[in-house]
Amino acid sequence: MTIDNNLPEGVGPHEEKELDLMLSGDKPLAMFSDTIPSSMELPEVKFQPYRS
């Protein structure tokens, strides 16, 4: 993964912290892509109560 050091403060990467940041109000939106490695599984069950 390439990290862009010119990103504004508060912009990712936030691995394993997305749900906590959103529930605390520090991050209003999370975006995921389908290009994650097959060895990594997102904890979708933890996000389910907050999906619309």
The predicted-structure confidence for 12-24, as pLDDT tens digits, reads as follows 666 777 788 888 9
Q: What is the pLDDT of residue 2?
A: 58
Per-residue pLDDT for 25 more than 80? yes
| The dihedral formed by the CA atoms of 5, 24, 41 and 29, expressed in degrees to the nearest 10 | -60
**Global pTM?**
0.39
Q: What is the pLDDT of residue 16?
A: 75
| 27: nearest Cα among 37, 35, 16, 19 | 19
State the pLDDT confidence band at 5, using cuts at 50, 70 and 90: low
